[in-house]
Amino acid sequence: MDLGLIAAAGVATGTVLLFAAIGEIFAERAGVMNLGVEGMMLMGAVAGFSVTGATGNPWIGVMAAMLVGGLFGLLHGIVTIHLRADQVVSGLALTFLGTGLARVLGEGLTNTNVERLPAFTIPVLANLPIVGPIAFQNQSILVYVGFLLVPLTWFWIARTRPGLHLRAVGESPAAADVQGIGVYRLRLVYVVFGGILAGLAGATITLAVAPGWFGDQTVNSKGWIAIGLVIFARWSPIWAAFGAYLFAAISPFILALQGVPTILGVENPFLPGRSATFFLEMLPYLFVVGVVILGSRSAARRRIGAPAALGLPYVRGERGL
Amino acid sequence: MRIHLEPRTTTPRWLSPLATLGAVAVALVISGAVIGLVGGDPVRSYLHIVEASFGSIGVLSDTLVKATPLILTGLACALAFRMRLWNIGAEGQFLLGAWGASAVVLFPLVPSGTPAIILIPLMMLAGMLAGGLWGLIPGALRALLGVNEIIVTLMFNYVALFWVQFWVFGPWSEGGFQQTHPFPPQAWLPRLTDFSSVVPGFAGLTVHAGLLFGLVAAGLLWLFLERSRFGYEIRLIGDSPRAAEYAGINIKRRLIIVFAISGALAGLAGMSEVNGAVHRLQDHISPGYGFTAVIVAYLAKFRPGRVIVAAILFGALILAGREIQPSGVPVMIQGIILFTLIVGDVLVRYRIRITRGGPAPAGPLTPATGSSIGPAPRPEARG
């Protein structure tokens, strides 16, 4: 079992979760929960894949994926922010819609190949011990974009004036409104941006880390996992990155574990074809439950929780936050 | 031009049903447009759905077979949603219910040859227990640790799926196939076709007693929600948690109980499916009943009686949708219906006023409670 290879694979697929989780962090920090991540990612995945197939240029595909994700975010934003619909129901509707529509649009795309985004090695950094081969060797360009996005997101939210406004509309929209911050407009902007990142996450799957279209199995619940990671990360992009890479390393670890004939001298019960393998398959999902419990507990202990106005529509002049 | 939403002070009785019907109609038009865009024929697709699900007594019976698990899982969701608990885990609770019922005859927990009169209630109980437990865990996590129930119930769906796969591929596998041995006939729920010797017209009709479970459960749930103190408290918590707290209602305890009942209903759906329709446990026993249940509950406005109607409509969609190409169409229609329902809801709750420029109209409730679509007016005082 090569732990370095497992970690490198984790960094690659973790980028998918990272984009989706950071997108959700932006939306939720603005006070809008979007449970439609899975649907937006599927739409991004199919849009990126099919547009790349049609144009031959994966960059146009990425743009299309981000555009489609943004449009889905816009739909959710208008329905929840302006029409004050329930964010949970609208998000679920978005997931149904995205899943169904992606399957309809993706009909006939299975078993086709398209151009991928470039992957390359970063010269000096790749020579670093341990980290170099894991993070900087022959990774997709989007993986490196992910590395840059984490500190940028942190800086934007924690250290800039627009970031302060973002937190204000999520924590105390009425106070923000009094300060002259356009609550509706800002919320909409961040929900759309969250959608754009979710679309990018989908394209990251089909154009970079696991190329191809496999129906709704393409995203395979990664959107839901990203939402779980946001809770685990307590709405911090840095913790989200940590969670995303760690979580993504579980699947290659399981694959590697299934390839070992014996564990500690006894026959491996998890060999492919053995029914005990199904317990291994549960692990990622139980892991998400575990980290969400951990996140909730530490949030309760340290009194940092969800943005105070998360899930609540803002209505000027009405009693509320 | 600005669009204002004003809460309605009075809502005409006809408005809500009209909005629901309108929402479904608009959704079908939008879905039809998408089907047309990808090269399908929407009119033929819809005619096919109606024909293949309501066209004859035989297919109507098949539709009701599909509607049965949707009624029970729809009730499970409706109950939880009524309290604003987002149980998205009916799928997993359905699977656990199917597993629990199967365990009674496959472990086996009772001697073979146990008569139906004992065996079937036992399997119902086992299914409801297993499903209820699978609902209780996320409920308890939410109540005691404040853990988001949406994520936990969703993840539990996958865990339940692999749990069932372990048993049907492993210990209970029939000769290595992904299914168990068939249940003994006394574990089968009676079907209409079983009475064809008495009523010849029943021959071939596979509607089974699970439908009765669904109808009875809907009646009981209606009594529970509308006529019992506990039900009243649940509705109060759903409408106004703060008021419920002031009234001294123990919200946490209600939350755990509601989650357990919700899980038990979905578990009963799983039991009814394996005992009534499949007669064995196998992989892929659910084409996503637990997810469609979310939309069924929402379409029914969380009312038990309307859940039955909505479940039959979606049962038809699932039944006929299997042959529709592209295969994603039924799921897409479900998503679009949910969206148009949400927007329809807005029309019921709010009066929409369109004004041209100028300040907000001086209605009795604006601008205090009106919000606006479009650029929000800037407040005078800016910091």
Side-chain half-sphere exposure of B287, counting CA atoms within 13 A: 15
What tokens appear for B218 in the block? 């809907």
> Which one of A28, A94, A217, A316 makes the best mutation probe of the B interface by having the most chain B beta carbons within 10 Å?
A316
Distance CA A127, CA A139 (A): 14
Best interface-test mutation with B: which of A72, A79, A95, A97 has the largest number of B CBs within 10 A?
A97
| Residues in chain B within 8 Å Cβ distance of A228 | 151, 155
For residue A294, give the chain B residue with the closest CA: B147
Contact flag B371-A39 (C-beta cutoff 8 Å):
no
Any CB–CB contact under 8 A between A169 and chain B?
no
Amino acid at B159: V
| Residue A321 binned pLDDT confidence (cut-offs 50, 70, 90) | low
Q: Which residues contact A99 (CB under 8 A, 6 or more apart)?
A: A38, A39, A42, A216, B328, B331, B332, B335
Which range has the worst mean pLDDT, A84-93, B59-68, B234-243, B321-330? B321-330
Nearest to B289 by CA among B62, B21, B77: B77
**pLDDT tens figures, B108-136:** 888 988 899 999 999 999 999 999 999 99
Q: What is the mean pLDDT of residues B354-367?
A: 51
Cα dihedral A270→A275→A277→A283 (10° resolution): -140
| A-chain residues near B155 (CB < 8 A) | 224, 228, 285-286, 288-289
Q: What is the pLDDT of residue A271?
A: 74
What residues of chain B, 214 to 253, have a C-beta less than 8 Å from chain A?
none
> Which residues from chain B sit within 8 angstroms of residue A84, using beta carbons?
5, 346, 350, 371
| Whether pLDDT at B258 is above 70 | yes
pLDDT score, position B2: 64
Q: A314 to chain B: which residues are within 8 Å by CB? A: 371
Report residue B119: phi and psi, to 5°: -65, -45
Choice among A53-57, A294-298, B1-5, B51-55 with the minimum mean pLDDT = B1-5
Tell me which chain B residue has its CA closest to the CA of residue A96. Answer: B335
With beta carbons under 8 A apart, name residues in chain B contacting A76.
none
A116 vs B: CB within 8 A: no
Task: Look at A88 and B150 and tell me if their CB atoms are within 8 Å.
Answer: yes
Tell whether the model's pLDDT for residue B1 goes beyond 80.
Answer: no
CB contact under 8 A, A97 and B335: yes
Whether residue B377 has a cis bond before it, omega within 30° of 0 = no
* Alpha carbon of A99: minimum distance to chain B alpha carbons (Å): 7
Q: How far is CA A253 from CA A129, A137, A206, B199, in A?
A: 21, 19, 22, 60
Q: Where are the alpha helices (DSSP H) in chain A?
A: 3-29, 37-55, 58-77, 87-105, 131-135, 141-159, 161-171, 173-178, 183-204, 222-232, 237-248, 250-257, 277-301
Query: Distance (Å, rounded) from C-alpha B272 to C-alpha B238?
Result: 29
Burial (Cβ within 10 Å: 0-12, 13-18, ≥19) of residue A304? exposed
For chain B, say whether A283 makes contact (Cβ under 8 Å): no
Using a pLDDT cut of 70, give the percent of chain A over it: 96
- DSSP states along A23-58: HHHHHHHTT---TTHHHHHHHHHHHHHHHHHHHS-H
Is A227 in the B-facing interface, judged by CB distances under 8 Å? Answer: yes
Measured between alpha carbons, how far is A244 from B161 in angstroms, rounded to an integer? 23
Mean pLDDT of chain A: 90
pTM: 0.89
- Which helix or strand (DSSP H or E) is residue B203 part of? none
What is the per-residue pLDDT across A116-131, written as a single tens digit (0 to 9) for each? 999 999 998 988 888 8
Alpha helices in chain B (DSSP H): 15-37, 42-54, 57-82, 90-106, 116-145, 149-169, 210-227, 229-239, 241-246, 251-272, 289-299, 304-321, 329-349
What pLDDT, on the 0 to 100 scale, is given for residue A302?
Answer: 65
Q: Confirm if B294 and B49 have CB atoms less than 8 A apart.
A: no
Nearest residue, CB atoms, B335 vs list A96, A182, A292: A96
CB of A120 within 8 Å of any CB in chain B?
Answer: no
For B153, the closest chain A residue by CA position comes to A289
Q: Which stretch, A53-57, A214-218, A267-271, B35-39, has highest mean pLDDT?
A: A53-57
Q: What is the ipTM of this complex?
A: 0.88
pLDDT at B162 over 90: yes
Answer yes or no: are the C-beta atoms of B239 and B246 closer than 8 Å.
no
Q: Measure A91 CA to nearest chain B CA, in Å.
A: 9
Residue A125, chain B, CB below 8 Å: the answer is no
Q: Is B146 on the interface with A (CB under 8 A)?
A: yes
Structure tokens at B369: 């409670």
**pLDDT tens for each residue of A61-85:** 999 999 999 999 999 999 999 888 8
pLDDT surpassing 70 at residue A45: yes
